[in-house]
Structure 1
Amino acid sequence: MFAYYFKLGVRSLRRNPALTALMVLTLAVGVAASVSTLTILHVMSADPIPEKSARLFVPQFDNGQVENFTPGADPDDMQMSYPDAANLLKSGQGERRTAMYGVPAAIEPPRKDIPAFQATGLAPTRDFFAMFNVPFLHGQAWTEGDDAKGADVVVLGRETAEKLYGDTNPVGQRLMVMGFPFTIVGVTDTWAPLPRYYKLIGGSRFGTPEEFFIPFSTAIRHETQHAGSMSCNANRDPGFASLLTSECTWIQFWFETRSAGDRAELQNWIDNYASEQRKLGRLKRNAPSKLYDVNEWMEKLKVVGNDSKLSAWLAFGFLVLCLVNTVGLLLAKFSVRASEIGVRRALGASRAEIFHQFLIETGVVGLVGGVLGLVLAFGALALIGMQSKGMANIAHMDWQMLGLTFVMSVSAAVLAGLLPTWRACQVTPAIQLKSQ
């Protein structure tokens, strides 16, 4: 019977086409508005590395000045000073650990037909690539020895490598970076986690991935200026050497543990470390040290802001408004078919059969509305993506959202059709037959 009722539902679309088109369009607009907004919220709030998110941790110390400090307040900056980063790298804690900061660099292509250009990269330690599951197209990460001596080696992003060398493997070639000859040891494959959870401070959280990577120690040895934010709570002497000994926070740090259960042990260690530093006259605010896993870190830095959540609620409110209008249109559509319902009841159709028939018809309306809503949602996301490169990276629909579009549309239509369908079932056959 379902197939038969489904065919009746398809045929009913041709009855009163203006009313049907208005219902489909109303439903489609409501679904498109809610789905496009929900898609962006889904991309922004999704766990970017679910297989590891409970094992990756950001430590946080508050090394600000005591003056004007309110106990319990957040630190002035969520990053870390170089003395703390260096100590944590040497600690041996966790399975892996990395310090990093953004670095700008002038790159001089080996090809004469390409002028020198400015690129933005990242200066992490070797563990970065394994910690964050960075795939490699050619070569591999630099060695621990390269980290130790600050070797002039570089890993290129795929787009940068193709821009400079085309489809050839550039591993082993020399490239002028920051005015120094660097040896290319690897090329990363396409890797663009959204959001860029590993470096949420400084730069776009939904922007393009880094164009190159050099060792953290190499960037320090070359006194490479950072690309990102910095917080200094006290005056310091000018120069890079003074920055390294200061309490300025400008480095981001991550630990990886063997299991999520090792968190307590790591927390205990950083608490002891902070206590030792206070004995040396540092961390004067005496604020508690904290650990954040990936999802907690994203929540702490408000990757999904209140504005985005409010937009989603407003979009769903608009969908509810569209459903109310759809209910009214369905009541009008079904009311003109009272005589048809009376004849069917007189011929033996039960109220349950009438209910199933009309409910399936509303499902057909929802299915058509879902197709149109999907088209409108793609158009809305395309318009949103034109606003900026960062928005273009998140304004795309995955299979989950595709499926949700149809489920939401059909469910919304069925929900809207419950009252009109129930009203249709209340038709009294005798009254309708007498009126014919």
Structure 2
Amino acid sequence: MFGYYFRLGVRSLRRNPALTALMVLTLAVGVAASVSTLTILHMMSSDPIPQKSTRLFVPLIDPGPVKGYTPGERPEDIQITYQDAMNMLKSGQGVRRTALYGVEASVEPPRREIAPFNMGGLAPTRDFFAMFDVPFDYGQPWTEADEARAADVVVLSRAMADKLFGDVNPVGRRLNLMGFPFTVVGVTAKWKMLPRVYLLQGGSPYVTGEEFFIPLPTAIRHETQHRGGMSCSSNVGPGFAARLASDCTWITAWFETASSGDRGDLQSWLDSYAAEQRKLGRLTRNAPNQLFDALGWMEYTHVVGKDSQLQTWLSFGFLALCLVNTIGLLLAKFSVRATEIGVRRALGASRTEIFRQFLIETAVVGLVGGVLGLLLAFGALALIRMSSDSMAAVAHMDWEMLGLTFVISVGAAILAGLLPTWRACQVTPAIQLKSQ
């Protein structure tokens, strides 16, 4: 019976091509607007590392002074001090630990046809690559011995390695970085984490990846300036050593635990550590020590802004407006078929069968509108990708959103068709037959 009603619906739509086209276009525009904005919100708020996001934790300790502090207020920065980061690396907590900050370095390409340029990268410790599942095309991360002696070694992204050395394995070759000869020890495969949850300072969280990695101790030895924000509650003396000893926050630390259930133990250690530091005269605010998993960290740092959420709600409001127009068109369409409904009712069709027939007809409108809406959504996302690099990284539709497009379209059409279909079921056969 479904197939029969489906064919009736298609024939009915063909009888009124102009009205059908107007309904399909109205629905398609609403679906395209809502799906394109929902796709961007979906990509922005997606779990960047779902296989272990509940086992990765970032600590937050407030080292600011008591003066001007109101208990319970949000910390001024989302990073920690260098000395706290180093203590956490030495703590032995979790199965892996890393501390990192964004860096920028000048590079002298070995290929003479390329002029020197600056590239952006990261200065983490070795565990970073295993913690965030960074794949490698060539080589591997630097060794523990390299990290311990702050060796001049570098890991390049695949795109940067191809630019500097061509399509060859560059492991073992030298590269002048920051005026010093660095040895290439590895090349990462094409890898990007969206959003870039491991470092939410120094640019958009939706950049396509780091161009190079150097060991954190190496960056400190070369006094490499950070790329990103830094917050200081008091004046810092001159020199890089003064920054390291200060309470300026400019480092991000991460822990990886064996299971999500180890969070309580890690929180207990963090509280104990803060208590010990207070005995040394630090952390005088006595603010709560916070620990966030990956998704919690995204929420706390407002990775997805309220403006993006508002745009999504507005797009669904536009879809609702399109549905109101579709309801009006369906009412007009079904009203002129009152005679047909009266004849079917007189021949024995029940109200349930009439309801089912017209509801399937509206579903056909939704299906066609979904196909057109999907094409319009792809076009809208293509235009959005042209607006900025950040948007280019997130304005992509995955299979989940592809299926949701048809669910929204057909569901919206059925919702719009409920009132017209119910009105069609109320047709009295005797009155319609008598008027003919």
2:251 is the alignment partner of 1:251: yes
What is the CA-CA distance between 1:292 and the residue it aligns to? Answer: 0.7
Q: Deviations over 1:366-416 (max 9, x none)?
A: 011111111111122122222210011111111110100001000110111
Superposed, 1:123-138 pairs within 5 Å as 123-138=123-138
What is the CA-CA distance between 1:349 and the residue it aligns to? Answer: 2.2
> 8 Å contact 2:98–2:253 — kept in the other structure?
yes
Superposed, 1:232-311 pairs within 5 Å as 232-311=232-311
What is the CA-CA distance between 1:122 and the residue it aligns to? Answer: 0.1
Superposed, 1:71-110 pairs within 5 Å as 71-110=71-110
Q: Distance in 1 between matches of 2:361 and 2:236?
A: 74
Q: Distance in 1 between matches of 2:56 and 2:210?
A: 20
Q: Give 1:198's aligned residue.
A: 198
What is the CA-CA distance between 1:192 and the residue it aligns to? Answer: 1.1
Read off the aligned partner of 1:275 and give its amino acid letter: A
Q: Deviations over 1:154-187 (max 9, x none)?
A: 1111111121223211111111111111111111
Aligned-partner SS, 1:262: helix
Q: Give 1:183's aligned residue.
A: 183
Q: Give 1:434's aligned residue.
A: 434
Q: Give 1:226's aligned residue.
A: 226
> 8 Å contact 2:136–2:187 — kept in the other structure?
yes
Q: Give 2:171's aligned residue.
A: 171
2:346 is the alignment partner of 1:346: yes
Gaps of at least 5 residues in structure 1 are none
Q: Give 2:318's aligned residue.
A: 318
Aligned-partner SS, 2:80: coil
Read off the aligned partner of 1:147 and give its amino acid letter: E
What is the CA-CA distance between 1:129 and the residue it aligns to? Answer: 0.4
What is the CA-CA distance between 1:47 and the residue it aligns to? Answer: 1.2
Q: Distance in 2 between matches of 1:170 and 1:377?
A: 42
Q: Distance in 1 between matches of 2:384 and 2:272?
A: 48
Q: Give 1:41's aligned residue.
A: 41
What is the CA-CA distance between 1:220 and the residue it aligns to? Answer: 0.5
When the two structures are superposed, what TM-score results if normalisation uses the length of structure 2?
A: 0.98
What is the CA-CA distance between 1:195 and the residue it aligns to? Answer: 0.7
Q: Distance in 1 between matches of 2:267 and 2:130?
A: 22
Q: Distance in 2 between matches of 1:374 and 1:92?
A: 51
Q: Give 2:374's aligned residue.
A: 374
Mean Cα deviation higher: 135-144 or 118-127: 135-144
Q: Distance in 2 between matches of 1:115 and 1:202?
A: 25
> 8 Å contact 2:136–2:188 — kept in the other structure?
yes
What is the CA-CA distance between 1:76 and the residue it aligns to? Answer: 1.6
Read off the aligned partner of 1:342 and give its amino acid letter: G
Q: Give 1:5's aligned residue.
A: 5
Read off the aligned partner of 2:4 and give its amino acid letter: Y
2:398 is the alignment partner of 1:398: yes
Q: Give 2:423's aligned residue.
A: 423
Q: Distance in 2 between matches of 1:7 and 1:215?
A: 67
When the two structures are superposed, what TM-score results if normalisation uses the length of structure 1?
A: 0.98
Superposed, 1:207-226 pairs within 5 Å as 207-226=207-226
What is the CA-CA distance between 1:433 and the residue it aligns to? Answer: 2.3
Aligned-partner SS, 2:234: coil
What is the CA-CA distance between 1:201 and the residue it aligns to? Answer: 2.1
Structure 1 runs of 4+ off > 3 angstroms? none
Aligned-partner SS, 2:302: coil
Q: Distance in 2 between matches of 1:332 and 1:414?
A: 16
Q: Distance in 1 between matches of 2:431 and 2:114?
A: 85
Q: Distance in 1 between matches of 2:15 and 2:114?
A: 64
Q: Deviations over 1:100-135 (max 9, x none)?
A: 011111111111111111100000000000001111
What is the CA-CA distance between 1:94 and the residue it aligns to? Answer: 0.9
Give the total of aligned pairs. Answer: 436
Mean Cα deviation higher: 426-435 or 41-50: 426-435
Q: Deviations over 1:268-324 (max 9, x none)?
A: 111111111111111111112111111111111011122111111111111111111
Identity across matched positions, percent? 73
Q: Deviations over 1:316-344 (max 9, x none)?
A: 11111111111111010011111122222
What is the CA-CA distance between 1:74 and the residue it aligns to? Answer: 1.6
CA RMSD of aligned residues (A): 1.1
Q: Deviations over 1:4-31 (max 9, x none)?
A: 2212222222222221111111111111
Superposed, 1:17-56 pairs within 5 Å as 17-56=17-56
Q: Distance in 2 between matches of 1:8 and 1:313?
A: 36
Gaps of at least 5 residues in structure 2 are none
What is the CA-CA distance between 1:426 and the residue it aligns to? Answer: 1.9
Aligned-partner SS, 1:20: helix
> 8 Å contact 2:89–2:98 — kept in the other structure?
yes
Aligned-partner SS, 2:14: coil
Read off the aligned partner of 1:233 and give its amino acid letter: S
2:356 is the alignment partner of 1:356: yes
Q: Distance in 1 between matches of 2:133 and 2:301?
A: 22
Q: Distance in 1 between matches of 2:334 and 2:57?
A: 59
